[in-house]
Chains A and B, each alone.
Chain A
Amino acid sequence: MKEQPIPERLQISPFLVFYMVMSIQIGIGVLGYQRIIAMDAGYDAWISILFAGGCIHVIVWLIYKICETAGGDIVTAHKYVAGNFIGKALSAIFIAYFILFSLTVLRTFIEVIQVWMFPEISTFWFSFAFMALCVYIIFGGFRTVVGIAFFGLVLPAYLLLTFGWAIKFSNFYNLLPIWDHSIKELLTASYHMSLAFIGFESIIFFYPFIKEPKKSQKWAHFAVLTTTIIYTILAIITFAYFSEDQLSKQIWPSLTMWKIVEMPFVERFEYIGIANWNLIILPNVCISVWIASRLIKRVFNIRQKAGVFFVVAAVLSIINFLDTRKEINTLNDYVGKMGFIFNFIYIPLLFAAVMMTKKLKKGKKK
C-alpha cells in the first residue's frame, strides 16, 4: 500500500525546519535547567551541555537516515520494519508521549504564572483558552503551525538580550577552575539536560511535510547547534550570576535573573518576560498536539480534526489532577526520562532495525 504523498502546497521550505526544531526545543526547560545540571556537575555543567548538544547531532543524523531509508515518517518506518499491525501499535505509543509532552509544558507554564503572577488563576480555564487557541492554529494546517513556531521563536528572541543586565552583577571567576568534576558527574548532568533539549525528535514526525527534505538536514543541525549555544551561554551567565549554593535554591533561575533587569520605563522585567513566555510555549504545545493528532490519523485512520479534539480533551481532563509542585516536578522528570529513552535509546535501535531490514530486502530481491 503506497501512502499518499503530501501535496506541495502544504509542504514547507527546508529552512523552516530550523525554526520548527528550535522553537519546540526551547520551552519550559530553559527556565530551570541550570539548577538541575549544576546539582550534578557543579559549575562545570556547561561542558555537559556542549556534550549533550554534540550527541543530539548524531541523533538528528540518525533520524534523517531512518526517514530517508523508510521514505516517510516514523509510522512508515515502523511499518517498514515491523509490518502493518505491530508498526501501528508501536506508533500508537508516541501519541501518549506527545500528549504528555504538551501537558507537561502547559502545566509547568501555568505553575510559573501561578507562582510569579496570578496565584489564583484557574488552571482549567487558562488551559482551556490556550487549547482553544491551539485548535484554531492547528485547524489552519501545518503551515500555520510552522508559522506560529516561526513567530514563537523570532519575536521573543529579544528576551536573550535582557539577560545581559545580569552580566553587570556577575562574577565569571565562579566558573573556575574548569574540569573540577569527574566524567561521570558530567555525563549525569548531560543526561539531566534531556528535558531542556527534547523536542528535536519531532522531525521524524513531520518529515513528509518538508519540501526537499535532504536540504533541510543542515538546517536541523544548525538549529540544534544554535540551541546548544544559547543554552551554554545562558548557563554560563547564570553560573556567574549566582553562587553555587544560591543556585541550588532557585527553581527557575532564568526568571530570578530577570529581577535584576531595570529599564527607564520598566522597574521589574520578569512580569513582561513571563507574559512573553506565552508566545514561546505556544509552538511547543501546538507542535506536540499536531504530532499527536497526526499520529492518531495515521494509526487509526480517522480525521485529524477528530484527533485534535481527542488530544485537547485528554490534556484538559488530566491537567486538573496536577496541583502541587511535587506532582508537576515528577511529571517533568518522567517526560524528561521518556524523552531520553526515546531519543537516545529507541532511535538508534530503530535505526539499526531499519538498516537491517533494508539489507534483508535487498537480499530478497537478489
Chain B
Amino acid sequence: MKNKRIKEDVEHKEWEQSFIKSKDFKKIFYYNQKTNVRFGLTFMATLIDENIIQDGILPNLLEDEFSEIEDIKQLVPVADVQICDDPSLIEQKLMNGYVMLTIETELKHFGFIAAQKEIVRGLSHPEVEFSVIGPKEAFVESMGQNLNLIRKRLPVKELIIEEFTLGSLSKTSVAILYMENITNEDNVNTVRQRLKNVKFDAITDSSYIVQLISDNSNSPFPQLLDTERPDRVAGILAEGKIAIVVDGSPHVLITPTTLVEFFSSFEDYFLNWILSSFFRLIRLFAVAFSILITPIYVATLSYHYELIPKDLMSTLITSRREIPFPPILEALFLELTIELLREAGARLPTKVGQTIGIVGGIVIGTASVEAGLTSNVLLIIVALAALASFTTPVYRMGNTIRLLRFPFLFFAELWGLLGIVFCFCVLLTHLTRLTSLGRPFLEPLYPPRVVDMKDALIRLPFEKQSKRPIFLRTKNPIRFNKKKAKKKKDIDE
C-alpha cells in the first residue's frame, strides 16, 4: 500500500503529462544493492550521453552504499551534481541534458547529474573568412567550445563572460564577453539592456540577434560585425569592444563597430603594415567600383555621350549597335543574371555550385553577347563588378553591396550622373545617421578623428597603435606605454 502510493507519487506528477508523449522521455527505477533504497533516473534519452549513465552513474549508485540524496555527491564521479527542491527547475534541467535522480525516501529533493551528450563538430578552417596566413581555427556550434577558444587567447581574469537565456522556446544561451578594465560600462549596459529586451520565441542563430538588437533594423547595412575567427574576437576584445556568443551559432558578434571595419580583413594584422594598407585601399576601391561602375555605364551611355573619349567611342558603339534594348535594361538583365548565378551557386552543394558558377557565367555570357542581347563591354564591366564585390571580407557586407547597385542603377537611369551623385548623397546621409550601439557608424571618417585613422582606411604599424580607438570611450585608452616601448637609436649605436 505504502509502496503503491510512492510509486504514484514518483510516476504521475503533473509536469510529466506532456513529457510522456515524447518517445525519448525515459524513467527507470533501480534498487540499491546495499541499502535496498529504490531510486529512479529520469532523463531525455536524446540529450544525454548513455555512456555516462552506464559507466559513471549506475555502477556507483547500484553498488555503493547511500541512503540520503546528499550522499550521491560523493558517490557519482561527475563534477556537475546539483541538489535542489524546486520542482519548477525540473523541465529546464531535463532539457539541458541532466539526469534526474529521485529517491523514495526523500521525495522533496531531486538530484541533477550532468550527462549531456556533446555532439561537437571538430574544429575546422574558417570558411567565410579564410586567411592564408594566421590561425586556422574557426568557431563551431557549441558555445562551450567557442568560449574555450576565446578564453585560451585572453587568459586574464578581467575577461568577463556573462550569460543570458533568450527565446521563450529555444532557451538559447547567449553570452556577452568584455574586458572589465577596458570596456566602457555604458556600452556593456546597452548590450545587456538590448538583450534583455529581445522578444522572440526561437533564436536559432546569432543572425537573429544581429537583427533584433541593431540600432536601425530598416537599414541594409549590418551594424554588428560577425566573425568565425577566435583570433579576431580576441583582438577586438582587447580593443575594448564587446563580443556576443550565441549557443548553436558558429558566428560571434562584435559590437560596437564601424563601417571601415567591415572592409578590413583580420589577415591585415598578419601582414606588414604597408602591404595591409595597400590591400585595404584596393578593397575600398573595389567596393566603390563594384557599386558604381554599372550605373556609370548606364548614365554615360544614356545621357553623357560627350564624356566618352573619342578613341573609346568606336569600341562602345560597335559593341552596342546590334543591341535592341536601352542600356538600363541591358544592365539589369546582366546584373540579374549574375545575381541568379550567385544565388544558385550558394544554394547548391559546393562542387556543383562552383561548376554552375563558372559554366553558367561563361556560357550565358557568351551566348547573350552572340545573340545580341547584351554588349560585350557591359559583360566585362558586370563581371568585374561582381568579382570586386567578392573582395569584401565580411560576407554580410558583401550582400549589402550587391543590393546597393540597384538603387544607383535606378537613379542613373533617371538623371544620369546627377542621379548617381544624388543617390550617393542619400547613401551618405543614411550612413551618417546610422549608429552602432549609439556610436557613430562612419567613425573615424565622420566625426573625423585623425587618431583613429591609424587603423581604418590604412593600418599603421603596431608601434603607432599605442592607443585604443577613441569612439569606444574605453576606461583605459592606452594599450601600451609608447615611450617605454620604443627608444630611437642613433646611427651605429
The chain A residues found within 8 Å of chain B, CB to CB, are 12-13, 16, 113, 117-118, 121, 126, 129-130, 133, 136-137, 140, 143-144, 147-148, 150-151, 264-268, 271-272, 274-276, 278-279, 282
- Could you pull out 13 A-B pairs where Cβ atoms are within 8 angstroms? A12-B447, A117-B418, A118-B418, A129-B422, A143-B440, A144-B433, A150-B448, A267-B306, A268-B306, A271-B304, A274-B418, A279-B425, A282-B425
Docked complex Cα distance between A140 and B415 (Å): 26
Please tell me if B417 contacts chain A, counting CB pairs below 8 Å.
yes
Query: In the complex, what's the smallest C-beta–C-beta distance from B276 to chain A, in angstroms?
Result: 24
CB <8 Å contact, A117 and B421 = no
B418 CB contact (under 8 Å) in A12, A113, A147: A113
Docked complex Cα distance between A16 and B425 (Å): 19
Looking at chain B, what size class is its interface with the partner chain? 20 to 34
Docked complex Cα distance between A266 and B306 (Å): 9
CB <8 Å contact, A148 and B309 = no
CB <8 Å contact, B416 and A265 = no
Most buried by B among A16, A118, A137, A276: A137
Residues in B neighbouring A279, C-beta threshold 8 A: 421, 424-425
Docked complex Cα distance between A268 and B425 (Å): 23
Docked complex Cα distance between A143 and B426 (Å): 16
CB <8 Å contact, B428 and A121 = no
Please tell me if B310 contacts chain A, counting CB pairs below 8 Å.
yes
B428 CB contact (under 8 Å) in A151, A266, A276: A151
CB <8 Å contact, B426 and A136 = yes
Please tell me if B432 contacts chain A, counting CB pairs below 8 Å.
yes
Known: A113-B418, A272-B307. A16 touches B432 (CB 8 A): no
Instruction: Produce 1/0 per residue, B382-416, CB < 8 A to A.
Output: 00000000000000000000000000000000011
Residues in A neighbouring B432, C-beta threshold 8 A: 137, 140, 144, 147-148, 151
Residues in A neighbouring B421, C-beta threshold 8 A: 275-276, 278-279
Known: A16-B447, A121-B415. A278 touches B309 (CB 8 A): no
Q: Which residue of the partner chain B has the closest CB to A155?
A: B428
Most buried by A among B418, B429, B447: B429
Residues in A neighbouring B304, C-beta threshold 8 A: 271
Q: Which residue of the partner chain A has the closest CB to B424?
A: A279
B309 CB contact (under 8 Å) in A126, A266, A276: A266
Query: In the complex, what's the smallest C-beta–C-beta distance from B456 to chain A, in angstroms?
Result: 14
Please tell me if B308 contacts chain A, counting CB pairs below 8 Å.
yes
Docked complex Cα distance between A274 and B307 (Å): 13
Residues in A neighbouring B425, C-beta threshold 8 A: 133, 148, 278-279, 282
Residues in A neighbouring B259, C-beta threshold 8 A: none
CB <8 Å contact, A118 and B429 = no
Please tell me if B442 contacts chain A, counting CB pairs below 8 Å.
yes
Q: Which residue of the partner chain B has the closest CB to A278?
A: B421
Q: Which residue of the partner chain A has the closest CB to B420?
A: A275
Known: A16-B447, A278-B422. A265 touches B429 (CB 8 A): no
Q: Which residue of the partner chain B has the closest CB to A134?
A: B429
Residues in A neighbouring B307, C-beta threshold 8 A: 266-268, 271-272
Known contacts A129-B422, A274-B418, A276-B421; can you find 4 more A-B pairs with CB under 8 A?
A136-B433, A137-B429, A151-B428, A271-B417
Q: Which residue of the partner chain A has the closest CB to B426?
A: A133
Docked complex Cα distance between A150 and B440 (Å): 14
Residues in B neighbouring A136, C-beta threshold 8 A: 426, 429, 433
Known: A118-B415, A118-B416, A279-B421. A264 touches B433 (CB 8 A): no
Query: In the complex, what's the smallest C-beta–C-beta distance from A111 to chain B, in angstroms?
Result: 14
Docked complex Cα distance between A13 and B449 (Å): 11
Query: In the complex, what's the smallest C-beta–C-beta distance from B425 to chain A, in angstroms?
Result: 6
Question: How many A-B contacts at CB < 8 Å in the complex?
Answer: 79
CB <8 Å contact, A267 and B310 = yes
Residues in B neighbouring A126, C-beta threshold 8 A: 415
Residues in B neighbouring A271, C-beta threshold 8 A: 304, 306-307, 417
Docked complex Cα distance between A267 and B418 (Å): 17
Docked complex Cα distance between A143 and B439 (Å): 12
Query: In the complex, what's the smallest C-beta–C-beta distance from B274 to chain A, in angstroms?
Result: 24
Docked complex Cα distance between A121 and B422 (Å): 14
Task: List the 8 shortest-distance A-B pairs measured between CB atoms, nearest first.
Answer: A147-B432, A275-B417, A140-B433, A278-B421, A275-B421, A268-B306, A275-B418, A147-B446
Instruction: Produce 1/0 per residue, B300-317, CB < 8 A to A.
Output: 000110111110100000
Query: In the complex, what's the smallest C-beta–C-beta distance from A286 to chain B, in angstroms?
Result: 9
Which residues of B from 27 to 66 have beta carbons under 8 Å from A?
A: none
Docked complex Cα distance between A147 and B446 (Å): 6
CB <8 Å contact, B309 and A267 = yes
CB <8 Å contact, A264 and B309 = yes
Docked complex Cα distance between A272 and B420 (Å): 10
Query: In the complex, what's the smallest C-beta–C-beta distance from A109 to chain B, in angstroms?
Result: 10
CB <8 Å contact, A117 and B426 = no
Query: In the complex, what's the smallest C-beta–C-beta distance from A137 to chain B, in angstroms?
Result: 5
Most buried by B among A12, A13, A118, A278: A278
Docked complex Cα distance between A274 and B421 (Å): 10
Residues in B neighbouring A275, C-beta threshold 8 A: 416-418, 420-421
Q: Which residue of the partner chain B has the closest CB to A139?
A: B433
Q: Which residue of the partner chain B has the closest CB to A113?
A: B418
Query: In the complex, what's the smallest C-beta–C-beta distance from A32 to chain B, in angstroms?
Result: 19
Residues in B neighbouring A272, C-beta threshold 8 A: 307, 417
Q: Which residue of the partner chain B has the closest CB to A271?
A: B304
Docked complex Cα distance between A150 and B417 (Å): 22
A147 CB contact (under 8 Å) in B306, B416, B424, B442: B442
Residues in B neighbouring A129, C-beta threshold 8 A: 422
Residues in A neighbouring B415, C-beta threshold 8 A: 118, 121, 126
Docked complex Cα distance between A95 and B424 (Å): 30
Residues in B neighbouring A143, C-beta threshold 8 A: 440, 447
Residues in B neighbouring A267, C-beta threshold 8 A: 306-310
Docked complex Cα distance between A191 and B440 (Å): 42
A13 CB contact (under 8 Å) in B308, B312, B426, B447: B447
Query: In the complex, what's the smallest C-beta–C-beta distance from B190 to chain A, in angstroms?
Result: 14
Known: A266-B307, A271-B304, A271-B306. A148 touches B429 (CB 8 A): yes
CB <8 Å contact, B446 and A150 = yes
Residues in A neighbouring B442, C-beta threshold 8 A: 147
Q: Which residue of the partner chain B has the closest CB to A9?
A: B438
Q: Which residue of the partner chain B has the closest CB to A281?
A: B425
Docked complex Cα distance between A63 and B109 (Å): 79
Docked complex Cα distance between A264 and B308 (Å): 10
Docked complex Cα distance between A136 and B432 (Å): 11
Docked complex Cα distance between A117 and B415 (Å): 10
Query: In the complex, what's the smallest C-beta–C-beta distance from A30 to chain B, in angstroms?
Result: 17
